[in-house]
Amino acid sequence: MSPQVFAILNVTPDSFSDGGQFENADEAVARGIELMAQGAHIVDVGGESTRPGAERVDPDEEQARVLPVIRGLVAAGVPVSIDTMNSVTALAAAEAGASVINDVSGGLADPEMYRVVAQTKLLYIAMHWRGHSADMDSLAVYDDVVTDVRTELKARLAEMFVWGVEKEQVVLDPGLGFAKTAEHNWQLLGRLDELASLGHPLLIGASRKRFLADVLPEGASKTDRDLPTAVVGAFAAQAGVWALRVHDVASTRTALNVVDAWKAGRGR
């Protein structure tokens, strides 16, 4: 089965790729509907940038950004994921109709997050994380990145289960670009089977990240990274990942259509 496609919708002034484009709630809702029409399965709404060096956002400001958009999308029949590290925002988003909590900190940024996940019973995406954006580049030190990420995700799982989170609720994300060098990211992608051995679905978020610039001509734009993003998505689909989180839905949908056609041809 093809991966789910999570469409990125940042309602922030400072996200690394699309900051400031959809700060108006009506425009953001229209964009979310457009992304669904392009083939997304769910729209991932975020109100706090996690680009390297980004400053934290107060949860009240975060909710002022995301809740009107979530309500508008849900009213239009669009499934929504809330991209947040804050438990209060996650709970408010759930009450507004979000069906997934996507937490880039894996619960480490807010000790109450697991309580909210257990309470709401929503699907929970727990990403590998070592620290906030202002500090994460200095934390990219590993003995073996795949082994270490696997071990640290396993520790997150053990803690969230103590809080009452059910195994079936949890999706894991290796956290490409978060306290990872380009070499670390490629190693994680090349050894996804070791992460899958934890027994949970995987989400991959490679979209437009700076490590993809290494395979492009010098001076390529961020949107030029959509092609390698789609190629990564195709390989990830072959590896059996559950979901891909992307900015450009159309190119990823095309790549996944190719994968499906390839598999169908092999079966004839």
For the chain, domain boundaries:
4-267
Q: What is 4-267's CATH topology?
A: TIM Barrel (3.20.20)
For position 267, what pLDDT does the model report? 75
For position 19, what pLDDT does the model report? 46
Q: Which pTM does this prediction carry?
A: 0.94
Give the N- to C-terminal CA distance of the chain in Å, as an integer.
Answer: 17
The residues assigned a catalytic role are: 209, 245
Q: Read off the pLDDT of residues 111-156 as tens digits, 9 standing for 90 and up.
A: 999 999 999 999 999 999 999 877 788 899 999 999 999 999 999 9
**Residues 6 or more apart whose Cβ sits within 8 Å of residue 194:** 146, 147, 150
For position 15, what pLDDT does the model report? 47
Q: Which residues of the chain have pLDDT under 50?
A: 15-16, 19
